[in-house]
Amino acid sequence: MSKKICVIGTGYVGLIAAVGLADFGNEVIASDVDERKIEGLKQGRVPFYEPGIQGYLERNVNSGRLSFTTDQGRGIRRAEVVFIAVGTPGQEDGQADLSLVEQVVEIIAANLNAYKVIVCKSTVPIGTNRKIKNRLKALLKAADREAEFDVVSNPEFLREGRGVYDFFHPDRTVLGCESERSRQVMTDVYRTLNLISTPFVWCNPETAELIKYASNAFLAAKITFINQMANLAEAAGADIHVIAKAMGMDGRISPKFLHPGPGYGGSCFPKDTQALVKTGEAWGVDMSLIRTVIEANEEQKMRMVRKFTGLLGGDLTNKTAAVLGLTFKSETDDIRESPAIKIVAALLKAGARVQAHDPQGMANFSRLFPEVKCCQDEFEALAGADGVLLLTEWNEYRSLDLHKAGNVMREKIILDTRNLLDPREVRAWGFVYQGVGRGEAPAGQ
């Protein structure tokens, strides 16, 4: 049976969940305190870049299954299931900021007019779902009201740029839930996924919360592992791509997430690894592996700066650096924790001028770095440059016109931090080229 659902928060996670749950046949009200965002959504405007979401938004709004409101209370009162999908940004000390979740819990308590399942999709530290349950109980008691509810932890594993696909084709759906009644409700909500045989992992809320952190920390560690192997391969004259391919042939390792680069970024890995270290400290459990991953990832970004500086003769004063790619990965306009932020800051500090291009990320980037010249296309960014850093794996950079690039650059130097280009071809066009982990055997051996 389809359900009446309210999704609170129309950011990346909330909006994709809202359109996806509506597409499953549920009746969904998505709410947000941001009036402009809700007004835009009512008119069919998605507030971020994400391939594929527009069509699903239009289809479900037109069918009447999806609507938007700023009146969170009304949305909650009408719903049988309330999804919490507000942000939990990292704070200075690494801990997740739960103030938005706490505010939403107060609003839910005030509008709990019948049995509801409260589903937490936001990434929250271990123990938070139980705290939500206890807080709701306390708020109801203080107001001298009685209402039944269950709290379910349902972490998301969406990849930006592929979020819509991932919503409809998850590797697994994790549900931390403790009552048969809420289990039945969640089975109805995700009935469509059940039909396509998506594995469901039923567990307690603490397990669900830790599955999310453990998965992200593992992937962050895997990337960091291959980055360090790439650095070693580079020094020793080995080829990291052959190494990664051969490693990936071992079914226990898998070839995914073994692509070296300038360090991971984004809204999840950096924040979640930091939070996991903090959680370990709180429980008195050693998280030294994850701490090392965080440090090594920062070092990887600085390594790119040192490599580029070396390629340009050791001094960036008054040099012009072209930067292609500003977002933390392709197919998104998100620059949160993008390696480009630390790398560009270091280039500027070393006295370089920076000319940049990104297909989606320039508006966000120029708010942080007004001194960076954002260019209409890659060739404007390359014009007069003493070297170029390729920082994001946008497809259009893979097929960069090297002849044209060479003609507009002052010096033909490329640091390809994503290994997008074919080194032999680039060198054949007269460029000095370096990738990551693409070592060459020592001469004469």
* Long-range contacts of residues 254-258, Cβ cutoff 8 Å, at least 24 apart: 257/219, 257/222, 257/223, 257/226, 258/222, 258/226
Residue 118 to residues 5, 33, 65, Cα–Cα distance (Å): 10, 19, 20
Nearer to ligand UDX, 205 or 266 (CB): 266
Residue with tokens 């049988």: 80
Choose, by CB under 6 A, the member of 48, 168, 202, 257 that binds ligand UDX: 257
**Interacting residues with ligand UDX between 86 and 145 (CB under 6 A):** none
Residue ranges of E strands in 345-445: 353-357, 373-374, 387-390, 413-416, 432-434
Nearer to ligand UDX, 261 or 387 (CB): 261
Q: Which residue is nearest to ligand UDX (CB)?
A: 268
Sign for the pseudo-dihedral over CA of 231, 369, 221, 239: negative
Widest CA span in the chain:
84
Two structure tokens written together for 225: 């592992």
**Total residues at the site for ligand UDX (CB under 6 A)?**
19
How many angstroms from the chain centroid is the CA of residue 189? Answer: 25
From the list 197-205, 232-240, 261-269, 315-323, the region that binds ligand UDX by CB under 6 A is: 261-269
Nearer to ligand UDX, 159 or 349 (CB): 159
Choose, by CB under 6 A, the member of 223, 230, 233, 304 that binds ligand UDX: 223
Choose, by CB under 6 A, the member of 116, 121, 278, 329 that binds ligand UDX: 329
265 binds ligand UDX (CB under 6 A): yes
Q: What b/e string do you get for 382-405 counting C-beta neighbours within 10 Å, with b at 16 or more? A: bbebbbbbbbbbbeebeebebeeb
SS3 44: coil
268 classed as catalytic = yes
SS3 27: strand
Choose, by CB under 6 A, the member of 68, 149, 269, 397 that binds ligand UDX: 269
From the list 51-59, 177-185, 252-260, 402-410, the region that binds ligand UDX by CB under 6 A is: 252-260
Length of the chain: 445
318 Ramachandran zone, left/alpha/beta (phi>0; psi -120 to 50):
left
Choose, by CB under 6 A, the member of 268, 326, 346, 372 that binds ligand UDX: 268
Task: For residue 246, give every residue at least 6 positions away whose Cβ sits within 8 Å of its Cβ, in sequence order, or none.
Answer: none
Binding mask 155-194 for ligand UDX (x = CB under 6 A): -xxxxx----------------------------------
> How many alpha carbons fall within 13 Å on the CB side of residue 59?
13
Indicate which residue of 6, 177, 268, 374 is catalytic: 268
Nearer to ligand UDX, 111 or 330 (CB): 330
Choose, by CB under 6 A, the member of 14, 87, 266, 361 that binds ligand UDX: 266
From the list 66-74, 130-138, 263-271, 275-283, the region that binds ligand UDX by CB under 6 A is: 263-271
How many angstroms from the chain centroid is the CA of residue 57? Answer: 21
Choose, by CB under 6 A, the member of 24, 149, 213, 264 that binds ligand UDX: 264
Nearer to ligand UDX, 68 or 365 (CB): 365
Q: Which residues belong to the active site? A: 268
**Footprint on this chain of ligand UDX (rule: CB under 6 A):** 156-160, 216, 219, 223, 257-259, 261, 264-266, 268-269, 328-329
